[in-house]
Chains A and B, each alone.
Chain A
Amino acid sequence: MAVTHTPSEETHGKIDTEELEEIWADAPGVPGFFSTVDHKRIGMRYIYTAFFFFFTSGLMALVMRDQLAAPNNHVVGPELYNQLMTMHGTTMIFLFNTPVLAGFGNYILPLQLGTRDMAFPRLNAFSYWIFVLSGLFFYASFLLGKAPDGGWFGYTPMTAKAFSPGINLDFWGLAIVFVGISTTVGAVNFIVTAFKMRAPGMTINRVPIFVWSILSMAFMVLFAVPAVTLAAGLLELDRLFGTAFFNPAHGGNLLLYQHLFWFWGHPEVYILFVPATGMISMIIPVMSRRPLAGYLWIATALIAIAFISFGVWVHHMFATGMPVQAMSFFSAVSLIIVLPSGVQFFAWIATMWKGRVRFTTPMLFAIGFLLIFLLGGITGATLATMPFDWQVTDSYYIVAHFHYVLNGAVVFPIFGAIYFWYPKMSGRKLSEKWGHISFWLMFIGFNLAFFGMHLLGFLGMPRRISTYPSGLGWDNLNLISTIGAFIFAIGTGVTLVNWFHARWWGKPAGPNPWDADSLEWATTSPPPEFNFASIPVVASRHPLWDQRPLPTANPNGDEATKSLGPEGAEHHETPETTGLDARPEATLDLPHPTYLPFLLACGIAVFFVGLLIKAVLVGIIGVGALVVALTWWAWRTEVDLA
C-alpha cells in the first residue's frame, strides 16, 4: 500500500464528502431510526438509554435514602422498599453500567482503531435493540405494579414459586436471560473488531489502552455471562415448568444457584470496572500531556484481571458454611487480584508524576476516581480475609464498599468520559465551569453518602432493611448519608443540564479539543458516517502526537488494500487487517441500513413475553418471527458477499 500525507484533520480532505455522506446516510426520520447500523448512532443510543435508566434508578435510590433518613420512618412500606431495592440494583448493574460502557465502546472503538464501523454492524444494532427491549420488558413490571422484590441477586428459595408466587420474579428472571443476549453478542463484536479492524500499522502493541480494556471486558463477558444466564434460566425453569434444580426437597441444591450467580457476579464487577479504568488510561495521559507510563504493564494487568477474576467468586459465600480449607483458596485469590489494580494505580500516578496536569473536568473526575477507588480497593482487600468477611458481609460495610467501587470507580470515570468525548460526539464542548461544579457536588455528596456506611456496618446495621429502630446509634450516620445522596444527585443533575445546554448552545469543539493522541481525534467532530474517507496509517502508539501530519493509506490495486482510500468509502467498504501486526489482508463490505436486527430482537422479545404470561401461542409467534429474521439475515449475507 502506498502512503500519502494529508493534513490530519482532513482525512477526507480533497474528495467529495457530500457524495460520501449520501452513500452512507441513513434514511431520514423513523425508518432511519429503526434501520440504522451506524456504530456512532448506536453508541449514542446506548449511552442515552443507559442514562435514562441511571436517572430512573437514581431516583429510586433517593426514595430509599429518604426512607432511611430517620428511624421508624414511613416514607415507603417494606413491600415497596424491597421492590425499589431490587429495581435499583438490577437496573444499575444490567441496564446502566454494563450498557453505558458498551455504548462508549461502540462509539469510540472503531474511531480509535481507524476503521469505518464495527466488525458486525447489524449485530451491533441487534444487541442495542435487545438491550432496550429487555429494559422495557423489565420496567413493564414496575408500571404494572408487579415489580420484582427478590433483591438484585435473586437468591432462591425466596425467589422460588413457593415464596414468590406472583409474576414479579418472572419479570426479573427472564429479563436477566434476555439482556444477557445483548451483552454476549456485543462482546463477540468487540473482540472481532479489536483484532481484525485496526488501521494498517496499528500493531498489537500500539493499540490504545481503552481498546485493551474493552477486549478484556469482552472476554470476561463471554465466559461469565453464560453462568448468570444458567442461574436465572434454571430458576425460571423451576418457576415456570416445575423443575427442581434449586429445590432441596427434590434433590435440588440452593448453593448451586449462588455458585452460578457469583461465578458471573464477581467477574461482572471487573466487567464494569475494567472499561472504566480504560477510560482513565485515556484521560490521564492526555491531561498530563505525556504518554501513559507502563503501557505494557497496564495491558498485562488488564489481561491478568480477566483471568484472576474467575477465581474469587466464593468470597461472596464465606458465610454459607462451606469448609474453611476450601474457602481459603478463594480468600488468597481475592487478595492476589489486588495486584493488577495496584500496577494500574502506580502507572497512573507515574504518568501524572512527570507530566504537567491540566485540571480539566475529565481530569478532575479521574483524580476523584483515584481517591475513591483507592478506598474501595482497600476495603475490597479487607473483605478477602475470611473472618473479617464473616462479620461485615451483608452489613452496610458492603454497601459502602461496592458503592465506592461501582459508583465511585465506575460512574466517576463515565462522567469523566462524557466530558472527555462528548465534544467528539457532538462537535460541541460541555461547560468547564459547570463541569467543575458538578464534579465537586458529586465528589462531596458521594463521600458523605457512602463513607458513613462503613461505620454503619461496624455498628451492626445489616443491609437491605427497609427500616430500623432508634437508639442503636445509626440515626445520625443515616441522616448524613441521605443528605450526601441528595448532594450527589444534584451534582449529576448539573451535568445533565450542562449536556442540555451544550447540545444546542455549546461552543464548537474542533476535531481535537484536548490535543489528544488517539485516532478518534483525527477526524472531524462529530465524525462523518464513514468515520475516515481515507484510512490513516499508524506508526506509533500515539499517532496524533508523533505522526504529524497523519499519513493516510492509498490502495495498491490489490484486493486487500482496495478499500483504504476514498474509493473504499465510496464502495461502502473497510479494510480487514491481520490480528497481530495489522497488515491489510482483505476488504469487508459494510452492510447498509436494515430492519433485520430490529425484527429479530422483536421476535425474541415476543418469545420472552410468551414465557412470561405462559402463552404458548405468543411464544410460537415470537419463535416464528425469530426464524424468519434469522433466515433472511443468513440469506442476505450471502447476497452481500456475492
Chain B
Amino acid sequence: MAKRRRIWFALAVLVLLTLVACSTKNSPAITDPKGNEAHTISGIWWLMCGMASAVYLIVGGFIVVAAFRGRRSEEGKPSRVRDSTFIVVGGLIVPSIILLVLGASVVYASNNLRQPEKDPLKIEVVGKRWWWDISYPDQNITTANEVHIPVGRPLEIGLDSDNVIHSFWVPQLGGKVDLIPGQHNIWRVKATKAGVYRGECAEYCGLQHAKMNFLVVAQPAAEFDQWVVRHQNPPSGPSDELTAAGQAIFMREPCAGCHTIRGTTANGTIGPDLTDIGSRRTLGANTVANTDANLAGWIVDSQSIKPGNLMPPIPMSSNDLHALLAYLRSLK
C-alpha cells in the first residue's frame, strides 16, 4: 500500500538523520556526557526517548489504522469499544501512568544534582559582551574564555553578569545556568573525564551571541595543580630583547588601557586578562584558533573577525607587530 511505503520512507529518513547525527565525534553532544549532571540527564533522556518512541509508534499506529480501516465500508466499521472508554483509557489513564512513572523516575534520578558538596573548587565566571571573564578567587588566578578544572572535584561555578543576560552551557558537563545582572547564580557540577569541551552562551545576548563561546579543559588533579602553580607565578619579565620590545609596544599602544597582564603596569579591565594569552587555545571567545596569524589579524583589525566587539583596530608596523606577537606568545 502507498501509505505503508510512505511510512518506510519516513523511517528511512529518520534512520539516515540519526546516522548523520551519530557520525560526528567532535560535537558538544549532550548524549556524550563527561560530567555528573550530563550523565544523569543523558540517562533521563534515553528513558524518555524509549517511552516517547513507544508512545509515538502506538498512537501513530492508531491514527493510521483509524484513517484506513473504514475505507472500503459503506458507513464506517463498528467497534466493540465505546468511544468514552477509548478516550478515557487512551487519553487519561494511560498517559497519567506514563507521566507518573516519568515524573517519579526523573525526581529519583536527579535529586542529587546541583547539591553542595565538601571542598569545592570555586570559580567565578562573569559574562561580558561577548566573552567570559574567568577567575579562581581562592587561587588568585584570572583568565578568560578557557576554564581549567580538575576531574572529579566538585565545582562551584559562580555566575554573574554586569551587562545583559547570558547563559553558561557546557553540553557535555550538564545543563544551563543563566548569568543575570543583579543575581548571583551558582552551578554545582563535577567533570568525570578529562578532555577539552566546548562551552557556549545559550541566552541570546545581542550582536555577537553566536561568537560567545569558550572551552572547558578538564584535567587530572595533578595536572590541574601544575596549571594553578604556573598561573600563580607568571614570568617576572621579558626574557629577551624581542619580547622586551614587544612589552614596550604593549605599554605604549592603547593595549594596556583595556587589558591586564599581571606583573606589569597593564591593568585595564575592559578586555580579557592576557596574563596567560600565550597558552590559550583560542582567541575572541573561541572564535578562531590562537595562531600567530590569527593573533596578528586580531590585533590589527579584530572587527573583521568579530564585528562589534569592543576592541578598536590597532594599526602598527610589521616590526612592531612581530615584537608584540613574540611578547604575547611568551605569556604562558
Mark A residues whose CB is within 8 Å of B.
77-79, 82, 149, 151, 155, 157-158, 163, 248-249, 253-255, 288-290, 293-294, 297, 319-321, 324, 328, 331-332, 335-336, 338-339, 342-347, 349-350, 352-357, 359, 367, 370-371, 374-375, 378-379, 381-382, 385-395, 447-448, 451-452, 455, 458-460, 462-468, 471-474, 476-477, 480
Interface residue total, chain B, C-beta cutoff 8 A: 98
B63–A381 touching, CB < 8 Å: no
Interchain Cβ contacts under 8 Å between A and B, 29 examples: A78-B208, A82-B204, A82-B209, A249-B182, A254-B180, A297-B88, A297-B91, A321-B183, A321-B186, A328-B107, A352-B66, A353-B86, A356-B74, A356-B75, A357-B68, A374-B60, A385-B48, A390-B175, A393-B202, A458-B31, A459-B21, A460-B29, A460-B171, A460-B200, A463-B202, A465-B209, A467-B211, A472-B28, A473-B23
Whether A394 contacts B167 by the Cβ 8 Å rule is: yes
Report the bound CA distance from A163 to B209 in whole Å: 14
Complex Cα spacing A455 to B208, Å: 24
Residue contact A354 to B77, C-beta cutoff 8 Å = yes
Contact assessment for B59 and A345 in the assembled complex, using a CB-CB cutoff below 8 Å: yes
Q: Could you tell me if B204 and A158 are in contact, using CB atoms closer than 8 angstroms?
A: yes
Of the candidates A289, A338, A342, A455, the one having the most CB atoms from chain B within 10 angstroms of its own CB is A342
Q: How far is the CA of A335 from the CA of B98 in the complex (A)?
A: 10
Contact A385 B91, beta carbon cutoff 8 Å: no
With A382-B48, A387-B175, A472-B27 given, name 15 new contacts (CB 8 A).
A78-B207, A149-B206, A289-B75, A290-B76, A354-B83, A356-B74, A357-B70, A378-B55, A387-B37, A387-B110, A455-B21, A460-B172, A472-B28, A474-B27, A477-B20
By a CB distance below 8 angstroms, the chain B residues around A349 are: 59, 62-63, 66, 86, 90
Of all chain A residues, the one with the shortest Cβ separation from B107 is A328
Contact flag A347-B18 (CB < 8 Å), given A342-B92, A467-B210: no
Set B87, B176, B211: member contacting A346, Cβ < 8 A: B87
Contact A347 B87 (CB under 8 A): yes
- CB contact between B79 and one of A82, A328, A347, A353 (< 8 Å): that residue: A353
In the bound assembly, the distance between CA atoms of A391 and B69 in angstroms comes to 41
In the bound complex, residues from chain B placing their C-beta under 8 Å from that of A367 are 63, 67
The 0/1 profile, CB within 8 Å of A marked 1, for residues 15-43 of chain B is 00110110111111111000001101100
B10 at the interface (CB under 8 A from A): yes
Evaluate whether A339 and B96 lie within 8 angstroms (CB atoms) in the complex, with A293-B83, A353-B69, A466-B209 already known.
yes
- A465's partner among B31, B180, B210 (CB-CB below 8 A) is B210
CB distance from A124 to the nearest CB of B (A): 35
Chain A residue with Cβ nearest B166: A158
Is there an interface contact between A452 and B17, defined as CB atoms closer than 8 Å?
A: yes
Q: Assess the B103–A459 pair: CB atoms within 8 A.
A: no
Question: Is residue B139 within 8 Å, beta carbon to beta carbon, of the partner chain?
Answer: no
Q: Give B283 Cβ to nearest chain A Cβ, in Å.
A: 13
B217 at the interface (CB under 8 A from A): no
Q: Is the CB of A390 within 8 A of B74?
A: no
Q: List chain B residues, Cβ under 8 A from A463.
A: 202, 204
Residue of B nearest to A392 (CB): B30
**In the complex the two chains form, is B76's CB within 8 Å of A345's CB?**
no
Q: Which residues of B contact A290 (CB under 8 A)?
A: 76
In the complex with contacts A254-B181, A378-B56, A460-B30, A391-B204 CB distance below 8 A: no
Q: How many Å from the CB of A300 to the closest CB on chain B?
A: 11
Q: Is B316 among interface residues, defined by CB-CB distance under 8 A? A: no
Contacts of B261 in A (CB 8 A): none
> Closest CB of chain A to B242's CB: distance in Å?
33
CB neighbours of A386 from chain B (8 A): 106, 110
B131 to chain A, nearest CB (A): 15
Q: Which residues of B in the span 148-177 have a Cβ within 8 Å of any Cβ on A?
A: 159, 163-165, 167, 169, 171-172, 174-177
Q: Name the residue on B nearest A457 (C-beta).
A: B30
Known pairs A344-B91, A356-B76, A477-B17; A254 contacts B183 (CB<8 A): yes
B95 contacts A338, CB within 8 Å? yes
- Specify which chain A residues have a CB less than 8 angstroms from the CB of B210 in the assembled complex: 78, 465-468
- B193 within 8 A of partner (CB): no
Which residues of A are found within 8 Å of B30, using beta-carbon distances? 391-392, 458, 460
Residue of B nearest to A448 (CB): B13
On whether the beta carbons of B44 and A462 are closer than 8 Å, the reply is no
Tell yes or no: B185 within 8 A of A by CB: yes
Please report the C-alpha to C-alpha distance between residue A289 and residue B70 in the assembled complex, in whole angstroms: 11
In angstroms, Cα B55 to Cα A255, docked, is 36
> Which listed residue, B25, B92, B114, touches A343 by the CB 8 Å rule?
B92
Asked if B310 is an interface residue, CB under 8 A from chain A, the answer is: no
Assembly CA distance A370 to B28 (angstroms): 33
Contact indicator per residue, chain B 195-213, by CB within 8 Å of chain A (1) or not (0): 0001011111111111100
Q: Which of A338, A359, A391, A465 has the most CB of B within 10 A?
A: A391
* The 4 A-B residue pairs with the shortest CB-CB distance in the complex, in nearest-first order: A390-B175, A473-B24, A248-B182, A460-B28
Is the pair B167, A319 in contact by a Cβ cutoff of 8 Å?
A: yes
**Nearest-CB residue, chain A, relative to B18:** A455
A72 to chain B, nearest CB (A): 10
B84 at interface (Cβ–Cβ under 8 A)? yes
Across-interface contacts of A458 in B (CB, < 8 A): 21, 29-31
Q: From residue 94 to 116 of chain B, which have CB atoms closer than 8 A to chain A?
A: 95-96, 99, 102-103, 106-107, 109-110, 113-114
Residues of chain A within 8 A (CB-CB) of B252 are none
Distance A480 CA – B19 CA, assembled complex (angstroms): 13
Residues of A within 8 A of B164 (CB): 155, 157-158, 163
Q: Which chain A residues border B172 with CB–CB below 8 Å? A: 460
Q: Are B176 and A473 in contact, CB atoms less than 8 angstroms apart?
A: no
Could you say which of A294, A319, A324, A464 contacts B209, with CB atoms under 8 Å apart? A464
Among B17, B99, B110, which residue has its beta carbon within 8 angstroms of that of A455?
A: B17
Residues on B with C-beta less than 8 A from A393 are 175-176, 202
Chain B residues with CB under 8 Å of A480's CB are 17, 20
Which of A79, A155, A352 is within 8 Å of B204, CB to CB?
A155
Which residue of the partner chain A has the closest CB to B181?
A248
Using CB atoms, name the residue of chain B closest to A328.
B107
Assembled-state Cα–Cα distance A463/B99 (Å) = 28
Contact present for A391 and B21 (CB under 8 Å): no
Residues of B within 8 A of A149 (CB): 206-207
Nearest-neighbor residue (CB-CB) of B99 within chain A? A335
Instruction: Contact check, A447 vs B10: say whether CB atoms are below 8 A apart.
Output: yes
Give chain B residues whose Cβ lies under 8 Å from the Cβ of A288: 70, 76
Among A79, A367, A455, chain B packs the most CB atoms within 10 A around the CB of A455
Partner of A388, one of B48, B96, B307: B48
Cα of A182 to Cα of B110 in the assembled complex, Å: 44
Q: How long is the Cα–Cα vector from A313 to B59 in the complex, in angstroms?
A: 28
A151 to B164, CA, bound (A): 13
Contact B27 A462 (CB under 8 A): no
A349 to B81, CA, bound (A): 13
Contact A78 B203 (CB under 8 A): no
Query: Does chain A have a CB within 8 A of B71?
Result: yes
The listed residue with most A CB atoms (<10 A of its CB), out of B164, B186, B205, is: B164
Tell me the minimal C-beta distance from A616 to chain B in angstroms: 31
With the chains together, A181 CA to B56 CA distance in Å? 40
Q: How far is the CA of A119 from the CA of B66 in the complex (A)?
A: 40
Of the candidates B48, B60, B182, the one having the most CB atoms from chain A within 10 angstroms of its own CB is B182
With CB as the reference atom, state the residue of chain A lying closest to B16.
A480
Q: Give Cα A83–Cα B314 distance, bound, in whole angstroms.
A: 30
Residue from A357, A391, A467 within 8 A of B176 (CB atoms): A391
Known contacts A388-B48, A466-B209, A472-B24; A78 and B163 CB within 8 A of each other: no
Contacts of B165 in A (CB 8 A): 155, 157-158, 254
- A464: which B residues are within 8 A, CB to CB? 204, 209
In whole angstroms, how far apart are the Cα atoms of A319 and B70 in the complex? 48
Specify which chain B residues have a CB less than 8 angstroms from the CB of A392 in the assembled complex.
30
Most buried by A among B87, B169, B176: B87
Contact status of A390 and B174, CB under 8 A, knowing A381-B99, A464-B209? yes
Asked if residues B21 and A477 are in contact (CB atoms below 8 Å), the reply is yes
Q: Smallest CB–CB gap between A2 and chain B, Å?
A: 36
- B87 and A321 within 8 A (CB): no
User: What residues of chain A lie closer than 8 Å to B40, measured between beta carbons?
Assistant: 387
